[in-house]
Structure 1
Protein backbone atom coordinates (compact mmCIF):
# COMPACT_ATOMS: atom_id res chain seq x y z
CA UNK A 1 0.00 0.00 0.00
CA UNK A 2 1.49 3.36 -1.04
CA UNK A 3 1.37 6.14 1.51
CA UNK A 4 1.55 9.91 1.54
CA UNK A 5 3.05 12.19 4.16
CA UNK A 6 2.21 15.77 5.13
CA UNK A 7 2.98 18.11 8.01
CA UNK A 8 0.18 19.79 9.93
CA UNK A 9 0.31 22.51 12.58
CA UNK A 10 -2.30 21.73 15.20
CA UNK A 11 -3.55 24.27 17.73
CA UNK A 12 -3.19 22.98 21.30
CA UNK A 13 -3.84 24.46 24.73
CA UNK A 14 -0.11 25.21 25.01
CA UNK A 15 0.64 26.48 21.51
CA UNK A 16 1.03 25.14 17.96
CA UNK A 17 2.21 21.54 17.61
CA UNK A 18 3.74 20.30 14.39
CA UNK A 19 2.39 16.84 13.63
CA UNK A 20 3.34 14.65 10.69
CA UNK A 21 0.60 12.58 9.11
CA UNK A 22 1.39 9.32 7.32
CA UNK A 23 -1.60 7.73 5.60
CA UNK A 24 -2.58 5.53 2.66
CA UNK A 25 -2.51 7.32 -0.68
CA UNK A 26 -5.71 5.62 -1.86
CA UNK A 27 -8.97 7.48 -1.24
CA UNK A 28 -10.97 6.23 1.69
CA UNK A 29 -11.55 6.56 5.42
CA UNK A 30 -8.97 4.90 7.68
CA UNK A 31 -8.59 4.27 11.40
CA UNK A 32 -5.88 6.36 13.04
CA UNK A 33 -2.92 5.72 15.31
CA UNK A 34 -1.40 8.40 17.52
CA UNK A 35 2.28 7.48 17.41
CA UNK A 36 4.37 8.98 20.21
CA UNK A 37 8.13 9.23 19.75
CA UNK A 38 11.11 8.92 22.03
CA UNK A 39 12.53 12.04 23.72
CA UNK A 40 14.37 12.86 20.48
CA UNK A 41 11.07 13.66 18.67
CA UNK A 42 10.54 12.67 15.02
CA UNK A 43 13.84 11.09 14.03
CA UNK A 44 14.39 9.01 10.89
CA UNK A 45 13.72 5.70 12.72
CA UNK A 46 10.45 7.09 14.10
CA UNK A 47 9.43 8.21 10.61
CA UNK A 48 10.14 4.75 9.22
CA UNK A 49 8.11 3.10 11.98
CA UNK A 50 5.17 5.40 11.26
CA UNK A 51 5.44 4.59 7.54
CA UNK A 52 5.26 0.86 8.23
CA UNK A 53 2.07 1.29 10.25
CA UNK A 54 0.51 3.57 7.62
CA UNK A 55 1.30 1.05 4.92
CA UNK A 56 -1.03 -1.41 6.64
CA UNK A 57 -4.02 0.87 6.23
CA UNK A 58 -3.81 3.36 9.09
CA UNK A 59 -3.56 7.14 9.29
CA UNK A 60 -0.63 7.72 11.65
CA UNK A 61 -0.07 11.00 13.48
CA UNK A 62 3.40 11.75 14.88
CA UNK A 63 3.31 14.83 17.14
CA UNK A 64 6.27 16.85 18.34
CA UNK A 65 5.88 15.81 21.96
CA UNK A 66 7.90 18.73 23.34
CA UNK A 67 6.57 21.44 21.02
CA UNK A 68 6.32 23.95 23.87
CA UNK A 69 10.03 23.66 24.61
CA UNK A 70 11.65 23.69 21.16
CA UNK A 71 11.43 25.51 17.83
CA UNK A 72 9.06 23.82 15.41
CA UNK A 73 10.78 21.03 13.50
CA UNK A 74 13.34 20.27 16.22
CA UNK A 75 14.85 16.78 16.03
CA UNK A 76 17.39 15.89 18.71
CA UNK A 77 20.45 13.81 17.95
CA UNK A 78 21.07 10.32 19.26
CA UNK A 79 24.04 11.59 21.24
CA UNK A 80 24.75 12.90 24.73
CA UNK A 81 23.64 16.42 23.89
CA UNK A 82 20.36 15.18 22.44
CA UNK A 83 19.79 12.80 25.32
CA UNK A 84 20.42 15.50 27.91
CA UNK A 85 18.10 17.97 26.19
CA UNK A 86 15.38 15.36 25.70
CA UNK A 87 15.54 14.25 29.33
CA UNK A 88 15.37 17.89 30.43
CA UNK A 89 12.28 18.40 28.26
CA UNK A 90 10.72 15.22 29.65
CA UNK A 91 11.19 16.47 33.20
CA UNK A 92 9.78 19.91 32.35
CA UNK A 93 6.48 19.10 30.62
CA UNK A 94 3.51 18.17 32.83
CA UNK A 95 1.40 15.19 31.89
CA UNK A 96 -1.62 17.46 31.70
CA UNK A 97 -0.05 19.18 28.68
CA UNK A 98 0.42 15.81 26.99
CA UNK A 99 -3.28 15.18 27.67
CA UNK A 100 -4.26 18.40 25.90
CA UNK A 101 -1.98 17.48 22.98
CA UNK A 102 -3.89 14.21 22.63
CA UNK A 103 -7.18 16.10 22.70
CA UNK A 104 -5.88 18.38 19.93
CA UNK A 105 -5.03 15.39 17.72
CA UNK A 106 -8.45 13.84 18.30
CA UNK A 107 -10.12 17.12 17.36
CA UNK A 108 -8.00 17.35 14.21
CA UNK A 109 -8.91 13.79 13.21
CA UNK A 110 -12.61 14.42 13.71
CA UNK A 111 -12.49 17.06 10.97
CA UNK A 112 -10.76 14.86 8.35
CA UNK A 113 -12.67 13.02 5.63
CA UNK A 114 -9.93 10.37 5.49
CA UNK A 115 -10.56 9.35 9.14
CA UNK A 116 -12.93 6.49 9.89
CA UNK A 117 -13.71 7.43 13.49
CA UNK A 118 -11.62 4.86 15.42
CA UNK A 119 -8.23 5.66 16.94
CA UNK A 120 -5.48 3.85 18.83
CA UNK A 121 -2.15 4.87 20.33
CA UNK A 122 1.37 3.49 20.11
CA UNK A 123 4.76 4.67 21.31
CA UNK A 124 8.31 3.81 22.29
CA UNK A 125 10.19 4.81 25.47
CA UNK A 126 8.49 7.95 26.83
CA UNK A 127 6.21 7.50 23.82
CA UNK A 128 5.14 4.16 25.28
CA UNK A 129 4.21 6.03 28.44
CA UNK A 130 2.31 8.64 26.40
CA UNK A 131 0.42 5.89 24.55
CA UNK A 132 -0.54 4.44 27.95
CA UNK A 133 -1.56 7.91 29.04
CA UNK A 134 -3.57 8.45 25.85
CA UNK A 135 -5.56 5.33 26.73
CA UNK A 136 -7.00 7.25 29.69
CA UNK A 137 -8.91 9.26 27.06
CA UNK A 138 -12.22 7.51 26.29
CA UNK A 139 -11.78 8.27 22.58
CA UNK A 140 -8.80 5.89 22.34
CA UNK A 141 -9.76 2.26 21.75
CA UNK A 142 -6.39 0.47 21.98
CA UNK A 143 -2.79 1.20 22.93
CA UNK A 144 0.44 -0.61 22.12
CA UNK A 145 3.12 0.47 24.62
CA UNK A 146 6.76 -0.41 24.01
CA UNK A 147 9.18 -0.26 26.98
CA UNK A 148 7.23 2.61 28.53
CA UNK A 149 9.42 4.62 30.88
CA UNK A 150 8.49 6.57 34.01
CA UNK A 151 5.10 4.98 34.67
CA UNK A 152 6.41 2.95 37.57
CA UNK A 153 8.51 5.77 39.02
CA UNK A 154 5.97 8.59 38.77
CA UNK A 155 8.79 10.96 37.82
CA UNK A 156 6.97 12.91 35.09
CA UNK A 157 5.45 16.11 36.50
CA UNK A 158 1.70 16.09 37.13
CA UNK A 159 -0.90 17.32 39.57
CA UNK A 160 -1.21 15.24 42.76
CA UNK A 161 -3.01 11.98 42.03
CA UNK A 162 -2.83 12.54 38.28
CA UNK A 163 0.26 10.45 37.52
CA UNK A 164 -0.26 7.75 34.93
CA UNK A 165 -0.07 4.81 37.34
CA UNK A 166 -2.86 6.37 39.41
CA UNK A 167 -4.93 7.01 36.27
CA UNK A 168 -4.81 3.33 35.26
CA UNK A 169 -8.25 2.98 36.81
CA UNK A 170 -9.65 5.23 34.07
CA UNK A 171 -8.34 3.18 31.13
CA UNK A 172 -11.07 1.49 29.10
CA UNK A 173 -8.94 0.77 26.02
CA UNK A 174 -7.30 -2.57 25.37
CA UNK A 175 -3.56 -2.43 26.13
CA UNK A 176 -0.54 -4.39 24.99
CA UNK A 177 2.49 -3.80 27.22
CA UNK A 178 5.89 -4.85 25.84
CA UNK A 179 9.10 -4.86 27.87
CA UNK A 180 12.75 -5.74 27.33
CA UNK A 181 13.96 -7.88 30.21
CA UNK A 182 17.45 -6.39 29.83
CA UNK A 183 16.13 -2.80 29.87
CA UNK A 184 17.63 -0.94 32.87
CA UNK A 185 15.10 1.89 32.59
CA UNK A 186 12.21 -0.29 33.76
CA UNK A 187 13.55 -2.97 36.13
CA UNK A 188 11.64 -6.05 37.20
CA UNK A 189 10.26 -4.35 40.32
CA UNK A 190 8.91 -1.51 38.16
CA UNK A 191 7.27 -3.90 35.73
CA UNK A 192 5.69 -5.83 38.60
CA UNK A 193 4.28 -2.60 40.04
CA UNK A 194 2.62 -1.70 36.75
CA UNK A 195 1.22 -5.19 36.22
CA UNK A 196 -0.15 -5.28 39.75
CA UNK A 197 -1.99 -2.01 39.12
CA UNK A 198 -3.40 -3.30 35.83
CA UNK A 199 -4.67 -6.41 37.62
CA UNK A 200 -6.16 -4.38 40.48
CA UNK A 201 -7.98 -2.13 37.99
CA UNK A 202 -9.14 -5.14 35.94
CA UNK A 203 -7.71 -3.55 32.80
CA UNK A 204 -8.02 -5.42 29.51
CA UNK A 205 -4.36 -5.99 28.69
CA UNK A 206 -1.73 -8.34 27.29
CA UNK A 207 1.77 -8.51 28.72
CA UNK A 208 4.90 -9.47 26.82
CA UNK A 209 8.47 -9.56 28.14
CA UNK A 210 11.20 -10.28 25.59
CA UNK A 211 14.94 -10.80 25.77
CA UNK A 212 15.96 -7.35 24.59
CA UNK A 213 17.46 -4.09 25.72
CA UNK A 214 15.94 -0.63 25.73
CA UNK A 215 15.37 0.84 22.23
CA UNK A 216 15.34 -2.59 20.56
CA UNK A 217 12.88 -1.17 17.99
CA UNK A 218 15.24 1.59 16.80
CA UNK A 219 16.89 0.54 13.55
CA UNK A 220 20.50 1.66 13.33
CA UNK A 221 21.04 1.44 17.09
CA UNK A 222 23.42 -1.14 18.53
CA UNK A 223 20.52 -2.51 20.61
CA UNK A 224 18.24 -2.98 17.58
CA UNK A 225 16.75 -6.46 17.22
CA UNK A 226 15.27 -6.76 13.70
CA UNK A 227 13.46 -10.04 14.33
CA UNK A 228 11.82 -8.77 17.49
CA UNK A 229 10.95 -5.47 15.81
CA UNK A 230 9.14 -7.35 13.04
CA UNK A 231 7.27 -9.41 15.63
CA UNK A 232 6.20 -6.23 17.43
CA UNK A 233 4.90 -4.61 14.24
CA UNK A 234 2.88 -7.73 13.47
CA UNK A 235 1.46 -7.83 16.99
CA UNK A 236 0.60 -4.11 16.98
CA UNK A 237 -1.04 -4.28 13.56
CA UNK A 238 -3.13 -7.27 14.68
CA UNK A 239 -4.28 -5.33 17.75
CA UNK A 240 -5.27 -2.27 15.73
CA UNK A 241 -6.96 -4.25 12.98
CA UNK A 242 -9.10 -5.99 15.59
CA UNK A 243 -9.91 -2.97 17.74
CA UNK A 244 -10.15 -0.16 15.20
CA UNK A 245 -11.90 -1.73 12.20
Structure 2
Protein backbone atom coordinates (compact mmCIF):
# COMPACT_ATOMS: atom_id res chain seq x y z
CA UNK A 1 0.00 0.00 0.00
CA UNK A 2 0.98 3.61 -0.45
CA UNK A 3 1.59 5.60 2.73
CA UNK A 4 1.26 9.15 3.99
CA UNK A 5 3.29 10.89 6.69
CA UNK A 6 2.19 13.61 9.07
CA UNK A 7 2.53 14.56 12.74
CA UNK A 8 0.47 15.73 15.69
CA UNK A 9 1.70 17.90 18.55
CA UNK A 10 -0.19 16.58 21.58
CA UNK A 11 -0.28 18.45 24.91
CA UNK A 12 1.47 16.77 27.83
CA UNK A 13 0.08 17.10 31.35
CA UNK A 14 3.40 16.16 32.97
CA UNK A 15 5.77 18.48 31.11
CA UNK A 16 6.34 21.39 33.50
CA UNK A 17 7.39 23.64 30.60
CA UNK A 18 4.18 23.01 28.71
CA UNK A 19 5.87 21.44 25.70
CA UNK A 20 3.77 19.00 23.66
CA UNK A 21 4.91 15.61 22.49
CA UNK A 22 5.25 15.31 18.73
CA UNK A 23 3.82 12.03 17.47
CA UNK A 24 4.65 11.17 13.88
CA UNK A 25 1.92 9.23 12.08
CA UNK A 26 2.56 7.05 9.06
CA UNK A 27 -0.59 5.63 7.55
CA UNK A 28 -1.69 3.55 4.57
CA UNK A 29 -3.79 5.12 1.88
CA UNK A 30 -5.96 3.34 -0.66
CA UNK A 31 -6.96 5.53 -3.63
CA UNK A 32 -10.71 5.62 -4.02
CA UNK A 33 -11.38 4.51 -0.44
CA UNK A 34 -11.19 7.68 1.69
CA UNK A 35 -13.06 6.07 4.61
CA UNK A 36 -10.89 2.99 4.96
CA UNK A 37 -10.00 2.02 8.54
CA UNK A 38 -6.94 0.14 9.74
CA UNK A 39 -5.53 -1.25 13.00
CA UNK A 40 -3.02 0.92 14.84
CA UNK A 41 0.54 0.31 15.98
CA UNK A 42 2.57 2.43 18.39
CA UNK A 43 6.22 2.24 17.31
CA UNK A 44 8.64 3.32 20.04
CA UNK A 45 12.10 4.42 18.98
CA UNK A 46 15.58 3.90 20.32
CA UNK A 47 17.34 6.50 22.48
CA UNK A 48 17.87 8.54 19.28
CA UNK A 49 14.16 9.43 18.81
CA UNK A 50 12.53 8.97 15.39
CA UNK A 51 15.50 8.47 13.08
CA UNK A 52 15.60 7.38 9.43
CA UNK A 53 15.80 3.67 10.31
CA UNK A 54 12.87 3.96 12.72
CA UNK A 55 10.79 5.84 10.15
CA UNK A 56 11.55 3.25 7.47
CA UNK A 57 10.68 0.43 9.87
CA UNK A 58 7.38 2.17 10.72
CA UNK A 59 6.74 2.79 7.02
CA UNK A 60 7.00 -0.91 6.26
CA UNK A 61 4.41 -1.65 8.94
CA UNK A 62 2.12 1.09 7.61
CA UNK A 63 2.42 -0.18 4.06
CA UNK A 64 1.16 -3.55 5.31
CA UNK A 65 -2.10 -1.92 6.40
CA UNK A 66 -1.59 -0.30 9.80
CA UNK A 67 -1.72 3.27 11.09
CA UNK A 68 1.60 3.74 12.89
CA UNK A 69 2.28 6.35 15.59
CA UNK A 70 5.90 7.15 16.48
CA UNK A 71 6.24 9.25 19.67
CA UNK A 72 9.19 11.58 20.26
CA UNK A 73 10.24 10.22 23.64
CA UNK A 74 12.46 13.09 24.76
CA UNK A 75 10.10 16.04 24.26
CA UNK A 76 10.82 17.21 27.82
CA UNK A 77 14.46 17.85 26.93
CA UNK A 78 14.61 18.82 23.26
CA UNK A 79 12.62 19.14 20.07
CA UNK A 80 11.37 16.21 17.97
CA UNK A 81 14.47 16.07 15.79
CA UNK A 82 16.42 12.84 15.67
CA UNK A 83 19.55 12.50 17.80
CA UNK A 84 22.66 11.64 15.75
CA UNK A 85 24.12 8.14 15.80
CA UNK A 86 27.45 9.27 17.21
CA UNK A 87 29.24 9.35 20.55
CA UNK A 88 27.73 12.68 21.62
CA UNK A 89 24.27 11.60 20.50
CA UNK A 90 24.53 8.28 22.29
CA UNK A 91 25.62 10.00 25.49
CA UNK A 92 22.76 12.48 25.21
CA UNK A 93 20.16 9.78 24.55
CA UNK A 94 21.36 7.66 27.45
CA UNK A 95 21.36 10.73 29.71
CA UNK A 96 17.77 11.60 28.82
CA UNK A 97 16.72 7.96 29.29
CA UNK A 98 17.47 8.06 33.01
CA UNK A 99 16.40 11.68 33.57
CA UNK A 100 12.85 11.10 32.34
CA UNK A 101 10.27 10.08 34.93
CA UNK A 102 8.59 6.67 34.56
CA UNK A 103 5.24 8.44 34.84
CA UNK A 104 6.20 10.54 31.81
CA UNK A 105 7.02 7.42 29.78
CA UNK A 106 3.60 6.09 30.79
CA UNK A 107 1.92 9.30 29.69
CA UNK A 108 3.67 9.21 26.30
CA UNK A 109 2.32 5.73 25.64
CA UNK A 110 -1.18 6.73 26.70
CA UNK A 111 -1.13 9.83 24.50
CA UNK A 112 0.04 7.83 21.48
CA UNK A 113 -2.69 5.22 22.01
CA UNK A 114 -5.28 7.95 22.61
CA UNK A 115 -4.23 9.62 19.36
CA UNK A 116 -4.48 6.42 17.34
CA UNK A 117 -7.92 5.58 18.68
CA UNK A 118 -9.11 9.11 17.84
CA UNK A 119 -8.01 9.03 14.21
CA UNK A 120 -10.79 8.46 11.65
CA UNK A 121 -8.66 5.97 9.71
CA UNK A 122 -7.91 3.78 12.76
CA UNK A 123 -10.35 1.09 13.88
CA UNK A 124 -9.16 1.17 17.50
CA UNK A 125 -7.38 -2.20 17.56
CA UNK A 126 -3.87 -1.41 18.81
CA UNK A 127 -0.51 -3.20 18.89
CA UNK A 128 2.92 -1.94 19.91
CA UNK A 129 6.51 -2.46 18.86
CA UNK A 130 9.90 -0.87 19.39
CA UNK A 131 13.61 -1.45 19.59
CA UNK A 132 16.17 -0.94 22.37
CA UNK A 133 14.62 1.66 24.70
CA UNK A 134 11.54 1.38 22.48
CA UNK A 135 11.39 -2.36 23.05
CA UNK A 136 11.04 -1.72 26.78
CA UNK A 137 8.43 0.97 26.14
CA UNK A 138 6.48 -1.34 23.82
CA UNK A 139 6.52 -3.96 26.58
CA UNK A 140 5.19 -1.43 29.09
CA UNK A 141 2.55 -0.29 26.59
CA UNK A 142 1.06 -3.78 26.88
CA UNK A 143 -0.06 -2.85 30.42
CA UNK A 144 -2.71 -0.70 28.70
CA UNK A 145 -5.71 -2.98 28.07
CA UNK A 146 -6.23 -1.37 24.66
CA UNK A 147 -2.94 -2.86 23.43
CA UNK A 148 -3.64 -6.38 22.22
CA UNK A 149 -0.07 -7.39 21.36
CA UNK A 150 3.48 -6.11 21.73
CA UNK A 151 6.51 -7.21 19.70
CA UNK A 152 9.68 -6.04 21.44
CA UNK A 153 13.10 -5.97 19.79
CA UNK A 154 16.14 -6.25 22.13
CA UNK A 155 14.37 -4.40 24.95
CA UNK A 156 16.90 -2.84 27.31
CA UNK A 157 16.76 -2.30 31.08
CA UNK A 158 13.85 -4.65 31.78
CA UNK A 159 16.02 -7.27 33.48
CA UNK A 160 17.91 -4.67 35.52
CA UNK A 161 14.90 -2.44 36.33
CA UNK A 162 16.98 0.66 35.56
CA UNK A 163 14.74 2.68 33.24
CA UNK A 164 13.85 6.25 34.10
CA UNK A 165 14.75 8.72 36.81
CA UNK A 166 16.23 6.99 39.83
CA UNK A 167 17.02 3.97 37.62
CA UNK A 168 14.36 1.95 39.41
CA UNK A 169 11.45 1.01 37.14
CA UNK A 170 8.55 -1.28 38.05
CA UNK A 171 8.19 -3.23 34.81
CA UNK A 172 8.80 -6.75 36.13
CA UNK A 173 7.05 -5.91 39.39
CA UNK A 174 3.90 -5.15 37.41
CA UNK A 175 4.27 -8.43 35.52
CA UNK A 176 4.58 -10.32 38.83
CA UNK A 177 1.49 -8.48 40.07
CA UNK A 178 -0.48 -9.98 37.20
CA UNK A 179 -0.96 -6.91 35.01
CA UNK A 180 -0.25 -8.93 31.83
CA UNK A 181 -1.86 -12.18 32.94
CA UNK A 182 -4.80 -13.17 30.77
CA UNK A 183 -4.29 -10.15 28.55
CA UNK A 184 -2.70 -9.63 25.15
CA UNK A 185 0.27 -11.38 23.58
CA UNK A 186 3.90 -10.36 24.10
CA UNK A 187 6.84 -11.38 21.90
CA UNK A 188 10.42 -10.53 22.83
CA UNK A 189 13.40 -10.93 20.53
CA UNK A 190 16.97 -10.83 21.83
CA UNK A 191 20.33 -11.41 20.19
CA UNK A 192 22.52 -13.91 22.00
CA UNK A 193 25.50 -11.64 21.34
CA UNK A 194 23.72 -8.57 22.71
CA UNK A 195 25.91 -7.23 25.52
CA UNK A 196 23.06 -5.01 26.79
CA UNK A 197 20.94 -7.98 27.90
CA UNK A 198 23.04 -10.92 29.11
CA UNK A 199 21.85 -14.51 29.34
CA UNK A 200 20.96 -14.10 33.01
CA UNK A 201 18.79 -11.12 32.13
CA UNK A 202 16.98 -12.99 29.38
CA UNK A 203 16.43 -15.92 31.72
CA UNK A 204 14.96 -13.59 34.36
CA UNK A 205 12.54 -12.06 31.87
CA UNK A 206 11.48 -15.47 30.58
CA UNK A 207 10.94 -16.85 34.07
CA UNK A 208 8.97 -13.81 35.18
CA UNK A 209 6.65 -14.05 32.18
CA UNK A 210 6.16 -17.78 32.59
CA UNK A 211 5.60 -17.59 36.34
CA UNK A 212 2.95 -14.92 35.76
CA UNK A 213 1.27 -17.07 33.08
CA UNK A 214 1.61 -14.37 30.43
CA UNK A 215 0.89 -15.28 26.80
CA UNK A 216 4.42 -14.67 25.61
CA UNK A 217 7.22 -15.89 23.36
CA UNK A 218 10.88 -15.12 23.92
CA UNK A 219 13.19 -15.66 20.95
CA UNK A 220 16.96 -15.74 21.21
CA UNK A 221 18.65 -15.35 17.83
CA UNK A 222 22.25 -15.27 16.64
CA UNK A 223 22.63 -11.50 16.50
CA UNK A 224 23.99 -8.46 18.28
CA UNK A 225 22.23 -5.41 19.65
CA UNK A 226 20.52 -3.20 17.04
CA UNK A 227 20.64 -5.93 14.39
CA UNK A 228 17.52 -4.52 12.68
CA UNK A 229 18.96 -1.01 12.23
CA UNK A 230 19.89 -0.46 8.59
CA UNK A 231 22.06 2.60 9.29
CA UNK A 232 24.96 3.26 11.67
CA UNK A 233 24.59 -0.21 13.20
CA UNK A 234 28.36 -0.61 13.68
CA UNK A 235 28.40 -3.67 11.47
CA UNK A 236 25.60 -5.41 13.37
CA UNK A 237 22.76 -5.08 10.83
CA UNK A 238 21.50 -8.47 9.66
CA UNK A 239 19.08 -7.82 6.81
CA UNK A 240 18.02 -11.45 6.33
CA UNK A 241 17.31 -11.98 10.02
CA UNK A 242 15.51 -8.65 10.17
CA UNK A 243 13.25 -9.75 7.30
CA UNK A 244 12.48 -13.01 9.10
CA UNK A 245 11.64 -11.27 12.39
CA UNK A 246 9.56 -8.64 10.59
CA UNK A 247 7.52 -11.41 8.97
CA UNK A 248 6.96 -13.00 12.38
CA UNK A 249 5.91 -9.63 13.82
CA UNK A 250 3.38 -9.09 11.05
CA UNK A 251 1.94 -12.57 11.66
CA UNK A 252 1.42 -11.64 15.31
CA UNK A 253 -0.15 -8.30 14.41
CA UNK A 254 -2.36 -9.84 11.74
CA UNK A 255 -3.60 -12.46 14.19
CA UNK A 256 -4.11 -10.16 17.18
CA UNK A 257 -5.24 -6.81 15.75
CA UNK A 258 -5.58 -7.36 12.00
CA UNK A 259 -8.91 -9.13 12.45
CA UNK A 260 -11.80 -8.36 14.77
CA UNK A 261 -12.78 -11.72 16.24
CA UNK A 262 -15.34 -10.30 18.64
CA UNK A 263 -15.34 -10.99 22.36
CA UNK A 264 -13.27 -13.87 23.70
CA UNK A 265 -15.27 -16.75 25.16
CA UNK A 266 -13.87 -19.43 27.46
CA UNK A 267 -10.32 -20.05 28.67
CA UNK A 268 -7.10 -19.39 26.81
CA UNK A 269 -5.30 -22.58 25.81
CA UNK A 270 -4.61 -25.16 23.16
CA UNK A 271 -7.62 -26.79 21.48
CA UNK A 272 -8.59 -30.15 22.90
CA UNK A 273 -7.59 -33.08 20.69
CA UNK A 274 -10.06 -35.93 20.67
CA UNK A 275 -8.95 -39.35 19.39
Using structure 1 for the length normalisation, give the TM-score.
0.96
Matched, 1:237 2:250: yes
Gaps of 5+ in 2: 260-275
Following the alignment from structure 1 to structure 2, what is the Cα–Cα distance between the partners of residues 162 and 90? 12
Q: Which of residues 94, 106, 110 is equivalent to 1:99?
A: 106
Q: Give the equivalent residue in structure 2 for 1:70.
A: 78
Partner of 2:190: 179
RMSD: 1.5
Cα distance in 2 between the residues matched to 1:110 and 1:206: 27
Instruction: Specify the alignment match of 1:157 in structure 2.
Output: 164
Q: What SS does the aligned partner of 1:185 have? A: coil
Please state how far the C-alpha of 1:167 moved relative to its aligned partner: 1.3
- Please tell me whether residue 193 in structure 1 is matched to residue 200 in structure 2: no
What is the CA–CA distance in structure 2 between the aligned matches of 1:129 and 1:196, rounded to whole Å? Answer: 17
Separation in 2, partners of 1:193, 1:129: 15
SS of corresponding position for 1:184: coil
Q: Secondary structure, in 3 states, of the residue corresponding to 1:170? A: coil
Relative to structure 1, the CA distance from residue 86 to residue 161 in structure 2 (aligned partners, 3 Å threshold; closer, same or farther) is closer
Change (3 A) 1:188 1:160: closer
Which of 1 and 2 has greater Rg?
Answer: 2
2:179 paired residue among 163, 170, 186? 170
SS of 1:154 mapped into structure 2: coil
**Distance across 1 between alignment mates of 2:165 and 2:150:** 21
Match of 2:126? Answer: 119
Q: CA offsets per residue over residues 95-147 of structure 1, 9 Å max, x none?
A: 21111111112222222110111000000001000000000111110000000
| 1:209 partnered with 2:220 | yes
Considering Cα pairs closer than 8 Å and 6+ residues apart, tell me whether 1 or 2 has the greater RCO: 1
Q: What SS is found at the alignment partner of 1:23?
A: strand
Could you tell me how far apart the structure 2 residues matched to 1:160 and 1:185 are? 15
- Cα distance in 2 for partners of 1:57, 1:242 equals 13
Question: Quick check: 1:18 aligned with 2:22?
Answer: yes
Which shifted more, 217-226 or 163-172?
A: 163-172
How many angstroms apart in 2 are the aligned matches of 1:128 and 1:162?
14
Change in 2 beyond 3 A, CA 1:189/1:219: same
CA distance in 1, matches of 2:230, 2:13: 34
Distance apart, 1:204 and its partner CA: 0.2
In 1, Cα distance between the equivalents of 2:167 and 2:84? 33
One of 39, 43, 46 as aligned partner of 1:38: 46
Structure ranking higher in helix proportion: 1
Is residue 145 of structure 1 aligned with residue 149 of structure 2?
A: no
Shift of 1:159: 8.6
Between the two proteins, the alignment pairs up a number of residues equal to 244
Normalised by the size of structure 2, how large is the TM-score?
A: 0.86
Instruction: Tell me the alpha carbon deviations over residues 15-39 of structure 1, each in whole angstroms, 9 at most, x when there is no partner.
Output: 4111110110123111000000000
Unaligned runs of 5+ in 1: none
